């Protein structure tokens, strides 16, 4: 029976048809299970669906437990899904939110600014933007919003997925950080100190406004520039050392000087701290820069004013000191004038009497000798005073003789001392010290006056001021002791403090000892005190011995003029007519003297072709100074310029000091006596300079 048998070709066709139907059914999703050809068991296709469901479940859980708020909206802006997190963030339940328009939760979205920012129908995944939402209690909720479109299988836009991160806390933190930074910025920008940050190559990476102002720049002009570029030439040499110390991790402060954009010097104190990275590597330096120019000025002003005060308290004494010899000068000169007057206008008897040697000695020579000696004393007092009148800034240090300075100070203070105590001097032989004469004089004067004021007036025979100099351990010790009231133990620690005084108002400034202390310390010395109440006080100044061995200025004894020598032609220039006349009087017997009372007239003379062997010229004159004359002569008559001897009253300006030291020039200090003047002129003419 072939009828019941299926022919192979037909069977194959049938199998193919079945296979085709199977594939079609599979593709259209009508199949539940496929029998696995290996295990011969059916595998449920729905297992895949279970897996899908499980995966959906997993996503759902992620969405629900996410820290981010998530919602989806449909094309009508209605919320179709919201996770718990977002509902919690906004203070609603999920049910309350689903179905409502999202714009109810975003106040901005209802504003004119198109809501497309919150949808994404036309764009791909959006950038993150910060958006303000409104909670159920109407408070603000700041979120970082990111949206992406939802599309169906055909790619048609069906809604938007939005993810939101709560930024409220972050914003608060940022705000707090911003405020804190603002606060620091304000501190840094408004502080009266300059603040700079340097990198490891000492380049400026930060400078606050104050620092820039200090030097006259804009902060940005200073960025990246090596800090040394702003320093004065001298400081460029020493400053790198200080920076180097920061590099090895040392904090510290040092004084240095910057150069202002306008060229002036700015004195500063820099407190530097090293900056290190987390591995301890030096990455730069932080510097707190304090402008101490004013303070420096104040300090020197204080010193000057203290010295003025010291001089002021002594003015009466000095006046007394000067008036005594001056009285002798005037009285004696009057006497001589009288005597000569009587002789000139008197009778023959008187005239013949006036010719006798005895009369001349008694009436003229003796009183003039006395006047001269008295005038000499005035000269010394004035020289002492000069020590105290110099300004400290233009005063160089040099090797000075402490004994000479102490003597000057004692003469200055003599009026204070003599009513109160006996003065005992106990000078040991000591080498010179490296010091500034005027400042050391100020210290000694202060100590001596203090010693005197420690004792009551009127009991001079019972009290003693003892001045001692000695050498100990390579230091020169100067002691000033008194037998006065002594200093109580409880205040002895404060006596070197500025403005500390036990003296009544008007007697002491309270600055004296503080300034003394500073002066002595600046010289590398030490000022100490020992005191016992009721017994007295000893101040001790210890100064290092001068290292270089410059000789003190010693006035060479004047060699008597035995020989009138060569007769020279001399020009005398001085604005003080009396001086001109005196010089002319002294020199005209031995030389031809031309006198001029102004430098410009003298210049005209030389320009006119007049030539002189020597020009004695005052250094400081109104209008044209001796320095000006020298400069002009150097141009028109260089040979004349080289023949100038300068005469000075001693009140040097810095300029004059510089002028005299620039090239060695002869100069003569006023007051000079006639022997001295004649000797110098003779020597000059003889050496034929």
Partner 1 sequence: MARTQTKESGLQLRLYIAGNAPNSVRAITNLKAICDEHFASACALEIVDLLVHPQRALADGIIVTPTLVKLLPLPVQKVIGTLSDTNRVCQALAST
Q: Which of 13, 16, 42, 638 binds partner 1 (CB under 8 A)?
A: 42
DSSP state letter for 689: -
From residue 480, how far is each of 229, 319, 363, 491, 565 by CA, in Å? 48, 25, 46, 19, 51
Record the tokens describing residue 273, joined without a space: 């701290």
Q: How far is the CB of 101 from partner 1 (least distance, A)?
A: 36
Closest CB to partner 1 among residues 43, 276: 43
56 scored as a contact of partner 1 (CB under 8 A): no
Closer CB to partner 1, 33 or 337, in the complex: 33
Ramachandran category for residue 367: left, alpha or beta (phi over 0 → left; psi -120 to 50 → alpha): alpha
Ordered DSSP codes for 582-621: HHHHHHTTTSEEEEESSHHHHHHHHHTT---SEEEEES--
- How many residues in the shown chain lie near partner 1 by CB under 8 A? 25
Q: Which is nearer to partner 1, 11 or 276 (CB)?
A: 11
Q: Tell me if 675 sits within 8 A of 560, measured CB to CB.
A: yes
User: Of the listed pieces 21-29, 64-72, 136-144, 610-618, which binds partner 1 according to CB under 8 A?
Assistant: 21-29
Residue 44 interacts with partner 1 (CB under 8 A): yes or no: yes
Q: Is 13 in the site for partner 1 (CB under 8 A)?
A: no
Piece of 37-45, 366-374, 495-503, 542-550 that binds partner 1 (CB under 8 A): 37-45
- Asked if 483 contacts 460 with a C-beta cutoff of 8 angstroms, the reply is no
- Closer by beta carbon to partner 1, 38 or else 138: 38
Q: Are 452 and 418 in contact (CB under 8 A)?
A: no
Cross-strand pairs, 273: 286
The answer to whether residue 38 forms part of the interface with partner 1 (CB under 8 A) is no
Rounded to whole angstroms, the Cα distance separating 511 from 517 reads 10
- Collapsed DSSP state (helix, strand, coil) of residue 671: coil
- Shortest CB 56 distance to partner 1, Å: 17
Of positions 12, 13, 26, 177, contacts partner 1 by CB under 8 A: 26
| Contact pick of 7, 8, 9, 28 for partner 1 (by CB under 8 A) | 28
Tell which one of 34, 52, 237, 315 touches partner 1 (CB under 8 A). 34
46 or 238, CB closer to partner 1? 46
Helix, strand, coil % over all residues of the chain, rounded to 5: 45, 25, 30
* Residue-wise DSSP of 619-668: S--SSS-HHHHHHHHHHH-HHHHTTEEEEE-S---HHHHHHHHHTT--EE
For position 41 contacting partner 1 by CB under 8 A, the verdict is yes
Q: Does 223 bind partner 1 (CB under 8 A)?
A: no
Q: Could you say which of 46, 244, 253, 376 contacts partner 1 (CB under 8 A)?
A: 46
Among 2, 37, 192, 278, binds partner 1 (CB under 8 A): 37
Query: If binding is defined by CB under 8 A, does position 2 make contact with partner 1?
Result: no
**Which of these ranges, 17-25, 177-185, 218-226, 471-479, lies near partner 1 under the rule CB under 8 A?**
17-25
- Does 3 bind partner 1 (CB under 8 A)? Our answer is yes
Q: Which one, 34 or 651, has the nearer CB to partner 1? A: 34
Choices 39-47, 196-204, 370-378, 642-650; region in contact with partner 1 by CB under 8 A: 39-47
Asked if residues 502 and 521 have their Cβ atoms less than 8 Å apart, the reply is no
Q: In this structure, are residues 73 and 159 in contact, taking their beta carbons and an 8 Å threshold?
A: yes
CB 228 within 8 A of CB 218: no
Q: Peptide bond preceding 671: is omega within 30 degrees of 0, i.e. cis? A: yes
User: Binding to partner 1 by residue 32, rule CB under 8 A?
Assistant: yes
User: How far apart, in whole angstroms, are the C-alpha atoms of residue 486 and residue 536?
Assistant: 4
- Minimal distance in Å, beta carbon 41 to partner 1? 5
Nearer to partner 1, 40 or 169 (CB): 40
Q: CA-to-CA distance for 515 and 304, rounded, in angstroms?
A: 10
Q: Candidates 35-43, 193-201, 316-324, 403-411 — which segment interacts with partner 1 by CB under 8 A?
A: 35-43
For residue 127, the SS3 value is: coil
Query: Among the candidate windows 22-30, 209-217, 237-245, 249-257, which touches partner 1 by CB under 8 A?
Result: 22-30
192 binds partner 1 (CB under 8 A): no
- Rounded CA separation 683/689 (Å): 10
Paired with 433 in beta bridges are 400, 545
Q: Which residues bind partner 1 (CB under 8 A)?
A: 3-4, 6, 14, 18, 21-22, 24-26, 28-35, 37, 40-42, 44-46
């Amino acid at each position: 029976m072939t009828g019941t048998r299926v022919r192979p070709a037909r069977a194959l066709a049938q199998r193919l048809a079945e296979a085709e139907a199977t594939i079609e059914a599979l593709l259209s999703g009508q199949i539940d299970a496929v029998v696995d050809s290996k295990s011969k068991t059916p595998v449920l296709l729905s297992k895949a669906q279970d897996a899908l469901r499980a995966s959906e479940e997993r996503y759902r859980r992620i969405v629900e437990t996410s820290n981010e708020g998530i919602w989806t909206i449909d094309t009508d802006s209605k919320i179709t899904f919201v996770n718990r997190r977002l509902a919690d963030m906004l203070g609603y339940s999920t049910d309350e939110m689903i179905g409502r328009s999202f714009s109810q939760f975003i106040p901005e979205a209802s504003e004119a600014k198109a809501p497309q920012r919150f949808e994404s129908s036309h764009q791909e995944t959006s950038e993150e933007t910060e958006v303000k939402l409104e909670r159920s209690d109407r408070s603000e909720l700041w979120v970082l919003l990111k949206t992406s479109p939802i599309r169906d299988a055909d790619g048609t836009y069906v809604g938007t997925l939005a993810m939101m991160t709560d930024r409220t806390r972050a914003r608060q933190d940022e705000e707090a950080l911003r405020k804190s930074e603002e606060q620091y910025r304000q501190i840094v920008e408004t502080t009266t100190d300059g603040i700079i940050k340097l990198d490891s190559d000492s380049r400026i990476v930060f400078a606050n406004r104050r620092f820039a102002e200090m030097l006259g720049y804009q902060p940005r002009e200073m960025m990246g520039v090596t800090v040394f570029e702003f320093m004065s030439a001298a400081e460029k040499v020493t400053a790198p050392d200080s920076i180097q110390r920061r590099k090895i991790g040392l904090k510290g402060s040092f004084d240095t000087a910057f150069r202002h954009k306008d060229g002036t010097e700015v004195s500063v104190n820099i407190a530097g701290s090293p900056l290190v990275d987390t591995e301890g590597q030096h990455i730069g330096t932080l510097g707190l820069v304090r402008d101490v120019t004013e303070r420096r000025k104040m300090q020197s002003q204080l010193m000057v004013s203290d010295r003025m005060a010291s001089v002021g308290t002594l003015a009466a004494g000095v006046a007394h000191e000067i008036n005594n010899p001056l009285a002798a000068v005037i009285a004696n000169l009057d006497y001589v004038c009288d005597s000569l007057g009587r002789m000139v206008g008197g009778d023959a008897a008187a005239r013949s009497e006036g010719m006798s040697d005895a009369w001349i000695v008694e009436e003229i020579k003796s009183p003039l000798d006395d006047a001269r000696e008295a005038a000499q004393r005035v000269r010394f007092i004035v020289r002492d005073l000069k020590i105290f009148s110099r300004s400290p800034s233009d005063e160089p240090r040099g090797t000075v003789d402490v004994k000479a300075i102490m003597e000057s100070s004692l003469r200055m203070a003599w009026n204070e001392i003599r009513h109160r105590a006996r003065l005992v001097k106990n000078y040991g032989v000591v080498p010179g010290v490296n010091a500034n004469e005027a400042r050391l004089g100020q210290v000694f004067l202060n100590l001596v006056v203090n010693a005197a004021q420690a004792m009551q007036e009127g009991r001079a025979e019972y009290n003693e001021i003892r001045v001692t100099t000695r050498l100990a351990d390579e230091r020169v010790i100067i002691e000033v002791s008194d037998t006065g009231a002594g200093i109580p133990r409880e205040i002895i620690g404060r006596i070197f403090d500025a403005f500390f005084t036990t003296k009544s108002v008007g007697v002491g400034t309270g600055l004296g000892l503080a300034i003394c202390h500073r002066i002595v310390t600046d010289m590398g010395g030490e000022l100490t005190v020992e005191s016992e109440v009721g017994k007295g006080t000893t101040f001790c100044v210890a100064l290092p011995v001068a290292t270089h061995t410059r000789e003190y200025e010693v006035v060479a004894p004047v060699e008597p003029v035995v020989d009138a020598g060569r007769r020279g032609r001399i020009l005398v220039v001085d604005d003080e007519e009396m001086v001109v006349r005196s010089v002319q009087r002294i020199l005209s017997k031995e030389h031809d003297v031309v006198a001029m009372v102004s430098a410009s007239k003298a210049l005209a003379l030389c320009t006119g072709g007049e030539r002189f062997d020597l020009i004695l010229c005052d250094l400081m004159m109104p209008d044209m100074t001796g320095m000006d004359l020298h400069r002009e002569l150097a141009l028109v008559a260089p040979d004349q310029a080289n023949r100038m001897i300068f005469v000075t009253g001693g009140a040097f300006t810095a300029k004059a000091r510089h002028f005299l030291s620039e090239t060695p020039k002869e100069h003569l200090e006023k007051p000079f006596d006639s022997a001295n003047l004649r000797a110098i002129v003779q020597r000059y003419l003889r050496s034929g300079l």
